Amino acid sequence: MTDNTKAIKPELLAQYAKDFNADRANLVAANAAVSAGVLEAATDYKGQRALPRDFSIELKQGSITNQRHSGRCWMFASLNTLRYELMHKWGLDDFEFSETYLFFWDTMEKSNTYLENVLSTLDEPTDGRLFQEINYGPADDGGWWQMFADLVNKYGLVPKSAYPESANSKNSDAFKQYLNTKLREFAAELRDRHANGASVDDLRALKDQDMSTVYRICAISLGEPPVKFDFLARVSNDDKKNDETKDGKKAENDKPKTGKDERKQIREYGITPVEFYKKYVPVDVNDLATLCNVPMKDRPFNKRYRIRYTANVAEAGDMEFINVPLDVFKKAAVDQISAGHPIWFACDCTQFSLRTAGYFDCDSVRVDQLFGTDFTFDKAQGLEYGDSPSNHAMTLTGVNLDENGKPNRWKVENSWGKDNGADGYYVASDAWFDRFVTEIIIRKEYLDDATRALLATEPVELDPWQPLTKRSR
């Protein structure tokens, strides 16, 4: 028998419609949203005008990168912070690392870690919460800064010229779909053999065989990564190199101008990725820490947290975070940018976001006015209820400080190409930063003493489903 007490009452539906049509504002809003879409209809020009694209502190970056149809934002943002340092160390006008190189090794490492996690949970039911979490995305694209650091430590870095993008790095869906299917087949076989009495040593030997198939899938999809490569870069020529004499007159004995590029060159032959990283990248990826701002009662501030089953490189260990109050979080960000270093950060990029126009700002996306209802979640509630978890990583390359030295807007470098935002850059209001930015990567030298001391404390272990932060894609 149907339980009509749970149904939407017809008389109430009639009343809802009557009330809706009685309010002229609803009709105007409906016309705008239906024809232009919710975000266009909710865009407030006053909010945009309050966020000019000039910043009191701004870092000069290279050309805008584009992750295309892939979930590699965390990798792009990480490499964008490092290329800035490399460019300015060596005087290069532009530079881009190979994202595909780390993508290849990340896929290999995640596949290995997934199978190792299967081996460590052989007696867990397949429909149990833990195994479901492990099995959700065996080798998906998403990640955190620490995953990036673990890959760099093990495999180094290469310039994009040595290992360019491929069709499957730019659009990874099919590649990852069939790889994940194969990994789950391997998992099923491992569990079946365990049920039939196979030893752990035998199972791990089988896993090693399975990884040969993983390598083949990766190599076919992306091409094999270089073991050694040649590197050529030209140093920028900003000083005009004696085009003029001291009195401003052109020297008579100057050589005639030609089309030849006379800039100094940096050349390397047969360099390995690890050698390249150690020689040319003036950043030790281990000298940075992940700060979180997660204001939840059951995630107290000023503690170190570790999330189980989150490693990509199995031997490197799971992801760790220091949860700090907002004032500590923001001061570290301002101090690092002020010192001339960009910042990797993670956020919920879908909230109050104008992708094409390039704004992250609640006052520019007035969905409250459009729908006639307030959106009242605070940061803690948004995280607890899964409404605004971190889902995207980008790079902070500027900040504007007011007359009191307080930030009021931030410059954001994205990895969605130059056709999104203002030539690839976005502006985020400080209020949006407070509400939706959950992670920043900070050099340890810009941590206060109390926060730095937390790095040596015993971490609180969290299960992978417990709210703190999510992989960025």
CA atoms within 13 A on the CB side of 424: 20
Tally DSSP H helices, then E strands, for the chain. Answer: 17, 14
**Do 326 and 394 meet the contact criterion of CB atoms below 8 Å apart?**
no
Instruction: Write down the catalytic residue from 117, 180, 312, 414.
Output: 414
Annotated active-site residue 392? The verdict is yes
Report the candidate in 252, 342, 273, 301 with the shortest Cα–Cα distance to residue 104: 273
If we measure between CA atoms, which residue out of 311, 400, 392, 342 comes closest to residue 71? Answer: 392
| In contact, 372 and 53? CB cutoff 8 Å | no
Residues contacting residue 259 through CB under 8 Å, at least 6 positions apart = none
**Runs of H (alpha helix) within 223-295:** 273-280
Place of tokens 């999510």: 470
Catalytic residue among 73, 218, 347, 349: 73
Specify whether the CB–CB gap between 122 and 190 falls below 8 A: yes
Residue of 292, 312, 349, 392 marked active site? 392
Q: Which residues pair with 142 in a beta bridge?
A: none
Active site includes 194? no
Q: Rounded CA gap, 207 and 183, in Å?
A: 10
Crossing angle of helices 273-280 and 73-90, in 10° steps, is 50
Which of 448, 436, 433, 352 is CA-nearest to residue 398? Answer: 433
Phi and psi torsions of 204, nearest 5°: -70, -35
Determine which helix (DSSP H) or strand (DSSP E) holds 241, and give its type and residue range.
none
Which strand (E) or helix (H) includes residue 125? Answer: none
Question: Does residue 349 carry a catalytic annotation?
Answer: no
Long-range CB contact pairs, 267-271, < 8 A, 24+: 267/230, 267/231, 267/232, 268/230, 268/231, 268/232, 269/230, 270/228, 270/229, 270/230, 271/228, 271/229, 271/230, 271/231
Specify whether the CB–CB gap between 140 and 180 falls below 8 A: yes
* CA torsion through residues 391, 396, 399, 405, sign: positive
CA distances (Å), 393 to each of 101, 414, 470, in order?
Answer: 19, 8, 11
Catalytic residues: 73, 392, 414
